[in-house]
Structure 1
Amino acid sequence: MTEPPIHPHSFRKMVEGWISFLPYREMGFFMMPPKTGVERRILQFIEDKKLHIIFGLKKRTICIHLDLYEEPKIEKYRLFSELQSQLKRGVKREDISFEGNDLIVLMSTLRENGFDIALFVTGADRMIQNLDFTLFKELVSLNERFDNLSILVFTGVYLLEKRTKSKLFEKNPLAANFFYIPLYSIEDSTQFIKYLEEKWNMHINRKQKEWILKNCSGRLGWIKNAMRLIRERSKITPGEIAEDVSMIDRAQTMVQVFSQEIRKLLEAISQGGYQTQDKDTLYLEYLTKLGLLKKEKGEYIIYPPYLSTIVKKHKQEDEINLNYHLVLSDQEYRVFTHLQKNLNTIVGRDVIAERIWESDVEEKYSEWAIDQLLHRVRTKLIAMKSPYALRTKKGMGFVLLQK
């Protein structure tokens, strides 16, 4: 592979933003468009020591990534267990010897030996949406106890909304560091297409490329999904790409992260002729900083255009489904809604796998993971006293029934 996933200049600017925050040894919140996939860039940086040197990372700094996988809730013991596991990996990368299984002892030992810890946290959006900041309280406690710890939280949720901000500050009085990460640029999108063409040994035609860059620019996950569709059907038209269920599902997942206020604002803008209102000022500023809104000829335009298409098509999510969205993880919710759309119909494991892993299905496919996820969905539906029942059809797939 010779092509990097995104333009080197963009990657440098992104990482330099992270590194410039580390000397403060505090907790910082990096707000970005929902479902940006920043996890890949974080791992790219953490696992390549050459990049640490290139970007001037302070020596004796251990970088670790904590992905919470959009779980609705994480208990303290699980948080500490995962932190300990990731920190041990970081210690191993630095060739440091350590014996023991206690997180606090390990962090104390690193501090005594002059090591800083940079903790990158992703996958907490669901907890933030549920206004459950218990996890952040635990992280703040660690941050206050260890003056060698920096915590960078990446989220697709707008943290400065009144109800979210008040809860966040209640649990985290230090929450004053807010940063914005905008959409990837069109140069990054063009670069990503080249990267996938080389990786997958394929080539897309001019019309397909023009449609992707015009409608999906900045959303690498959408681009990857569209490229996978083209790989499977080289003559697929732009219209067919736009209407493919996997594209719609991926875009809907992004929209569902937004609060109702932001979704209503996007709906109003998507209809055209929107008149600015005082109550929308903060939201407009937020969406503009993320690159999701642009102003052309005095009017706000949703960007990229495919997002506007999805907002128009799917104006208001059903309140019942909104409740499911708050209880189920993203992957679980995608599977549930697909089964719901195909009520009383057996859905094969391959289709379920595509809903779980989307464009990464080839790399991540696991029969065990499918069974575990469906088991969690079934358990949560029962706990919610849902009118739906999930059944397994041996050798065939799964079916959702209405009681």
Structure 2
Amino acid sequence: MVDIKGTKLRYPISDKYHQYISELLYAPLKYHENSILICPPLYGRDHLVLQMWEKIQDRKKVLGEDFDKYRFAHINLVASATNPESVWFDQIEHALCISKGKISLFEEFEENVRFLLSDKLELVLFVNIPETLSNETFAKFLALAQKIYYIFPSKIHFLLIFDMKWNEDDFFKLTTPFRSLFQNTKLLPLFPDKTILYFINYYEHTWNLRLQNKVKEYIVEQSGGIMLLAKSVLRIARNERVNKLEELQLTISTHPDHKLQMNFFISRLTQRQQNIVKKISNLENVRDEEINHLERMGIVIKSSTSWRLRSMFLQNYLTDRKGTMSRKLKLIKDTKIFSEREKLILLKMVQHKETIIKRETIAEIIWSQQSFEKYSDWAIDQTISRIRKKLQKDPLLSGLIIQTHKKFGFCLK
């Protein structure tokens, strides 16, 4: 459970997390590869990226004895409306301490870089790509980076740290022509719950969404550390103008954007990992040794009796509805969190899924033969509310959503 009220609007980056990012970013240098690290948008981002850059001890741990053969430089990329390349030349040369006056031609820049390479050093350009940089300008920088790289391919390395854009498809379309340059592209897909909550708070404030606390809690718990899915839900909440939990649950369950992001995340897994994840989602038996690597990645966690996916969005999406319905019925019968009457109501809804169960039918389950005398809409609503809350607490049943049909009944989706 995440403490919604007690979480301040700040980005928690621990030393351990710094080291993890450094490993992803610097390790490719051992294989003479360039890399792009795609991070979530950060509040006060420039300061934090620079702080990460200044942690030289992390670089030394990753590179070991090879550390001394590199010359590192950090630039925070800026755009110029008139001549961005000239500005970038100045930035890079200033960072490398080889500036010989203002230049605007690539040939002059190339000459200065070749002069530095004569010292038998390898250059590492750590480039912070700000979120505000337009797609067009970013594409220009990638083209320039490719030209610089080909001056001396084994001696110049680019390490780019890049904000996740709202649409990852745009980013990968932009970088596709430069795949031969950036052989190592890494997403940071899994995050602690507090980081996901920070992200939600930041964009709730930026977009004036005014989300209820239970909606935030739902997004954090259901995303399971996958930033792509949290972003998708926020985007849907903004575009579809929904801020109530029940409305949001029903909207995202069939929304194409949410499906697109889940497919994108799944595509980043190996075929073997995909097969294991699908088995777990459908409550099939999987040997512990098969999923140790997925546990280390934080994609799966172990409940009291079995494995499950950390992200319930993903688990519900991958579930084979027909094949697991009998298992859902068994889970409801065996669980101890529901009262006997609540179980009977829920079993009735599961057995008649996507069919409206009338209020009178629920009244008969609650009060039996006295349903006519004791009938109360308020009592029925309270019973359904308790069932909803208990469903959300059980990871294996949280995908069951009860939809209200006002003054008529309820339907399980």
TM-score range, shorter chain: 0.3 to 0.5
Larger radius of gyration: 2
Task: Identify the structure with bigger relative contact order (alpha carbons < 8 Å, sequence gap 6+).
Answer: 1
**What TM-score, normalized to structure 2?**
0.46
Please give the TM-score of this superposition, normalised by the length of structure 1.
0.47
